[in-house]
Amino acid sequence: VSRILRNGADGSPLVEDISVAVADLAESGVDFLYVGSSSFLLSNADLLTGAALDEGLPLATAYEAMVRDSDALIALANAYYNVGQLAGRQAERILVDGATPGDLEVIGLDRFTVLINIDTAAKLGLYPPMLLLRYAEIIGGPQ
């Protein structure tokens, strides 16, 4: 199930539609929300994750920052450091080795980081399985 946000006069999505879309998704009976790559939703993470919490919906994301700096429950993310290293290797192939950018194969990272916001888990009453806790990075909790 997905929802498309309306665009404003400037062509960008309407921020005020975020809460409405989350409430609509909750009413439709979804079990959780997943946020893939969206700079708009990332820049409005607090509004999005707050709306999800208000509806009792866990939010999973590809963005580390939504777990670290907001209230997403879980992320399966590429560490920003590793993304930077990958970009650096591609730039080196172009700038140093003389490769043509269009000839470079599309590559991705094969290692991901699992982050869990334990404070959000507590608010939702959803506690991660012990096996997942063995390798996930836990965000929040007792300081």
pLDDT tens by residue, 5-58:
999 999 999 999 999 999 999 999 999 999 988 899 999 999 999 999 999 999
Token output for 9: 């006069």
Angle at 131 between CA 49 and CA 80, to 5 degrees: 50
**Helix spans in 1-109 (H):** 17-27, 39-43, 45-54, 64-68, 80-95
Q: For 85-115, write each residue's pLDDT tens digit.
A: 999 999 999 999 999 999 999 988 888 899 9
Whether domain 17-79+111-139 has CATH 3.40.50.300: no
pTM above 0.85, yes or no: no
- 143 pLDDT higher than 70: no
Residue recorded with tokens 């650096």: 88
Residue recorded with tokens 């930077």: 84
